Amino acid sequence: MVLISPSILSADFGNLRQEIKKLDDSGADWIHLDVMDGHFVPNLTFGPQVIKSLRSATNLIFDTHLMVNNPDKMIPWFADAGADIITIHYEACDDVLKTLSSIRKLGKKAGISLRPQTDSKVLENILDYTDLILIMTVNPGFGGQSFMSDQLEKISSIRKMIGNRKIWLEVDGGINHTTAGLCINAGADVLVAGSSVFKTPDYAKNILSLKNKEE
């Protein structure tokens, strides 16, 4: 069963609590939180205080995507704020195994994300240290970009690499009713969706249309 993790990057930032409650009522499986630092990516969003203040709005899993330099410094902040999954970028780490281990030590699920340009081979030595692999199908930084279909082969090869390990394979960027099916066929089991969930007020219908792409 594919999981849908709506990204609140496309939500109304003046009403985040209500937006999250509405996503919860609309069949969202997780809540995707895009943390951007203005350095690793050319955009700035929100930090742990905002996440902490939203924590009581829902019991859904907080799927936290850190697009930041120096994640080691910040991981404890997000663990304290109530993140359930903390995903860091391979490209932002000096010692990725150490960083992933530090997330697990805090009792959180550890995720690793790759930019579109990063080869899937880098994951080979990481598989036993991660609970989630997040493949970017746009250049990280902004919502509403077009899906990069050249990433589908990468998704399939990572699905093979995972084998029977218990690792979620999540895809992020440009997911809509067309590209959702392509990602599911390639082996993704969690889809992040921003603009396609928030495009109309009927979030339940928009989420369902992504789920219905499952074979």
Hey, which residues between 48 and 87 contact Zn ion (CB under 5 A)?
Answer: 65
143 in contact with ligand DX5 (CB under 6 A): yes
Sign, Cα dihedral of 2, 120, 176, 200: positive
Q: Strands of 3-6's sheet, edge to edge?
A: 3-6, 190-193, 168-172, 132-136, 109-114, 85-89, 61-67, 30-36
Binding mask 32-51 for Zn ion (x = CB under 5 A): --x-----------------
Active-site residue, selected from the candidate residues 29, 37, 131, 172 = 172
Residue 143, binding choice from ligand DX5, Zn ion, none, Cβ under 5 to 8 Å by partner class: ligand DX5
Single out the residue of 31, 9, 135 nearest to residue 83, CA to CA. Answer: 31
Between 107 and 198, name the residue whose CB sits nearer to ligand DX5.
198
* Residue type (1 letter), 174: G
213 in contact with ligand DX5 (CB under 6 A): no
195 in contact with ligand DX5 (CB under 6 A): yes
If 0-12 CB within 10 Å is exposed, 13-18 middle and 19+ buried, where does residue 210 land? buried
Name the one residue in this structure whose structure tokens are 């997040």. Answer: 134
Cβ atoms of 60 and 28 closer than 8 Å: yes
Among 143, 172, 182, 210, binds Zn ion (CB under 5 A): 172
User: Shortest approach of Zn ion to residue 193 CB, angstroms?
Assistant: 10
If 0-12 CB within 10 Å is exposed, 13-18 middle and 19+ buried, where does residue 61 land? middle
Among 193, 203, 206, 210, binds ligand DX5 (CB under 6 A): 193
User: Shortest approach of ligand DX5 to residue 155 CB, angstroms?
Assistant: 16
Catalytically active residues are 34, 172
Per CB under 6 A, residues contacting ligand DX5 are 7, 9-10, 32, 34, 65, 138, 140-141, 143-145, 172-175, 192-196
